[in-house]
Amino acid sequence: MCGIIGCVAEEPVAALLLDGLVRVEYRGYDSAGMATISRGKLGVKKGVGRVKDIEEARKMSAMSGTVGMAHTRWATHGGVTNANAHPHASCKEQVAVIHNGIIENYIPLKKALIAKGHRFKSETDTEVISHIVEDEYKRTKNPLRATQAAVKKLKGQYAIVVMFQDRPDVMTGARKDAPLIVGVGKGKMFLASDVLAFIGHTDRTIFLDNYEVVQITKEEVKIIGPDGREVRRDPNQVAWELSDVTKSDYAHYTLKEINEQPKTIVAASVQDPYKVAEFARAIKRAKSLFITASGTSYHAGLLMKFRLSKEARIRADVVVAGELKEHTEFLGKGSVVVALSQSGETADVMEAVREAKKHGAKAYSIVNAAGSSLARESDVTLLLNCGPEVGVAATKSFTAQVVVANLVVDAVLGKKKPDRLEELSEAVADALKCDGQVQELVREYRDRPDFYFVARGYESPVAMEGALKLKELSYIHAEGMPASELKHGTLALIEKGTPVVFINPSGPNHAESLSNAEELSARGADVIGISDVRDQVYKHYIQIPKVSPKSTPIVEAIPLQLLAYRMSVAKRNDPDYPRNLAKSVTVK
Ligand code: AGP
């Protein structure tokens, strides 16, 4: 979940490291640090908080040296302290390491190192790596071989970057189940957890595979595979559009990304028809079909399942990615697993897909990040094409997932006529006009401790998504559920003025849902209706445009995203960087 960037260049690297650090900060942001080697001496600066707030960060940009590394942390082992922030230097400060992942066997490793006389300065799992590399470097006198030998001792997940005080010309790295990417520039070479970290300098990238170890100089890349042999791999060009990760005139990335949706849903619909057909064929032929994802992507998966069973009469099990390994009885040769993920790096999703493949299943994915682990390990991938999503809350990626999932289901159904995406795009633009109304709701309900989101049928996952958005951005307790479930327990929590967001578009479930809304209102709830038809039961009503049933979740998601965003701002939270969370959840 941490952001890492390292660079070897012919010019000082501190400024570009700091710039890269801010770009990967969405991955984790409780502390940050940087190390460079200057005049044969390793220098490390770190601090607690967001990069912009860290006192030491101002000094980081002035650090000299043409080799350096930087890190933003999402704490796993050890509290959020200066000592636990990365980089971590070895005892003699000859080696420095930054790491993303979890070293599962760090306790026995640490004990053995202490017994050998190593002194530890932090409570992290990461620090063992710098001490092991130090020992191996003493033995091998070779940075690459020392890194190779060190990672053989590690269990768990890691993407690491290592610097050696007496070798300012090189930097090494290694990965297992966490992303590490080489950026091939002119006179500068990068190692980073994300293309965004260096895209301002080069669009030429090499994605490393699991168990590979790499060494970079300012001009060369050397990759060694798990069998000890050198791996030759040419750089790929990634889209320069990735470099457009500014907030433009918006106060936050989240608001910008919400407002991009009239465009991104159109971009998501541009897919290679042959790939979509192949995806659909696999679904139709599957002996057993699983859909797996986490968080918001899971909600998009639930929507996909609904259409597959109701319209195509194809049975699919939707399983939260972190739980798929508990449901392997029906996974085997001929099974298909469809994985949805914005980042393509979510550890739970990766584990689920690898587990399914181990059982003989084929993996089909819907992913935003091209070149991500999920995209590379899937048999077929459809990309969301919605551009980088920086805000921790998934917004535009959710609606793009619904568009792509709909394309696949339409292909399963043999539907030939393309959708009129311009109309849907206009409808999304219309839905965005509710922002003023949403702000009034926020003024009225900002101090309420609980919110409920309810809906029926196909819209139920949208209710769950509304609750998830509100929780993560505003820190208000929220629950999303099918309206039918209310009377089985939750009604007991409804009291005078409890806000209940009721998603209720016209359609077969409309009348039944209105009865549930009446029941809520009779018990004192303030029912906030989100629908294309007004009703007197709604204390507040947000009108959404009428679109085709399969696309209705897209327009319904807009007021829910705005509600979460505006509530977050009203409560003086940072909507882009909600507490305790990170954008890319690369640990289990
Ligand atoms: C959504 O707002 C969350 N930040 C989170 O639930 C997210 O959707 C989840 O972690 C899955 O991420 P992915 O789509 O990158 O796999």
pLDDT for 291-304, tens place per residue?
999 999 999 999 99
pLDDT at 92: 83
Q: What is the DSSP secondary structure assignment for residue 499, as one 8-state letter?
A: E
| Banded pLDDT at 57 (limits 50, 70, 90) | confident
Tell me: do 207 and 268 sit in the same domain: no
Tell me: do 272 and 180 sit in the same domain: no
Does 493 reside within a domain? yes
Residue-averaged pLDDT of the chain: 94
Q: What is the DSSP secondary structure assignment for residue 432, as one 8-state letter?
A: G
Tell me: do 289 and 359 sit in the same domain: yes
| Banded pLDDT at 248 (limits 50, 70, 90) | confident
Q: Which among 296, 465, 565 is the best mutation to test ligand 1's pocket, defined by most ligand atoms within 8 Å of the CB?
A: 296
Residue ending a domain, choose from 419, 448, 479 = 419
Residue ending a domain, choose from 208, 224, 241 = 241
| Banded pLDDT at 74 (limits 50, 70, 90) | confident
Does 580 reside within a domain? no
Ligand 1 centroid – CA 267 distance (Å) = 20
Ligand 1 centroid – CA 587 distance (Å) = 13
Ligand 1 centroid – CA 585 distance (Å) = 8
- Contact call for residues 284 and 314 (beta carbons, < 8 A): yes
Q: What is the mean pLDDT of residues 254-276?
A: 96
Q: CB of 585 closer than 6 A to ligand 1?
A: yes
Tell me: do 22 and 119 sit in the same domain: yes
Tell me: do 383 and 483 sit in the same domain: no
- Contact call for residues 97 and 162 (beta carbons, < 8 A): yes
386 is catalytic: no
Tell me: do 97 and 216 sit in the same domain: yes
Q: Which among 258, 323, 341, 342 is the best mutation to test ligand 1's pocket, defined by most ligand atoms within 8 Å of the CB?
A: 342
| Ligand 1: nearest atom to the Cα of 349 | 16
Q: CB of 343 closer than 6 A to ligand 1?
A: yes
The CATH code of the domain that includes 284 is 3.40.50.10490
Residue ending a domain, choose from 241, 259, 280 = 241
Tell me: do 226 and 259 sit in the same domain: no
Q: Which helix (H) or strand (E) holds 443?
A: helix 435-445
Tell me: do 295 and 219 sit in the same domain: no
Confidence check: pLDDT of 432 > 70: yes
Ligand 1 centroid – CA 384 distance (Å) = 14
Given the residues 2, 7, 386, 434, select the one marked as catalytic.
2
Does 587 reside within a domain? no
Q: CB of 254 closer than 6 A to ligand 1?
A: no
- 533: containing domain: 432-575
Confidence check: pLDDT of 228 > 70: yes
Tell me: do 47 and 142 sit in the same domain: yes
Does 588 reside within a domain? no
Enumerate the β-bridge partners of residue 289: 336
| Ligand 1: nearest atom to the Cα of 392 | 4
pLDDT at 24: 83
Tell me: do 53 and 199 sit in the same domain: yes
| Banded pLDDT at 76 (limits 50, 70, 90) | confident
Q: CB of 342 closer than 6 A to ligand 1?
A: yes
Which tens digits make up the pLDDT trace of 312-361?
Answer: 999 999 999 999 999 999 999 999 999 999 999 999 999 999 999 999 99
583 is catalytic: yes
What lies within 8 Å, CB to CB, of 194 at 6+ separation is 3, 23, 24, 27, 179, 181, 584
Confidence check: pLDDT of 245 > 80: no
Does 426 reside within a domain? no
Residue 286 dihedral angles phi and psi, to the nearest 5°: -60, 135
Tell me: do 414 and 454 sit in the same domain: no
Which tens digits make up the pLDDT trace of 480-515?
Answer: 999 999 999 999 999 999 999 999 999 999 999 999
Question: How far apart (Å, rounded) are the C-alpha atoms in residues 134 and 165?
Answer: 11
| Banded pLDDT at 270 (limits 50, 70, 90) | very high
Q: How many domains does the chain fold into?
A: 3
Question: How far apart (Å, rounded) are the C-alpha atoms in residues 463 and 480?
Answer: 5
Tell me: do 106 and 233 sit in the same domain: yes
- Contact call for residues 304 and 413 (beta carbons, < 8 A): no
Does 585 reside within a domain? no
| pTM of the model as a whole | 0.84
Does 95 reside within a domain? yes
Does 98 reside within a domain? yes
Q: CB of 341 closer than 6 A to ligand 1?
A: yes
Ligand 1 centroid – CA 216 distance (Å) = 32
Q: CB of 335 closer than 6 A to ligand 1?
A: no
Given the residues 176, 396, 469, 583, select the one marked as catalytic.
583
Atom 7 (ligand 1): residue with closest C-alpha? Answer: 295
Ligand 1 centroid – CA 508 distance (Å) = 31
Which tens digits make up the pLDDT trace of 389-416?
Answer: 989 999 999 999 999 999 999 999 999 8
Q: CB of 390 closer than 6 A to ligand 1?
A: no
pLDDT at 240: 57
| Banded pLDDT at 242 (limits 50, 70, 90) | low
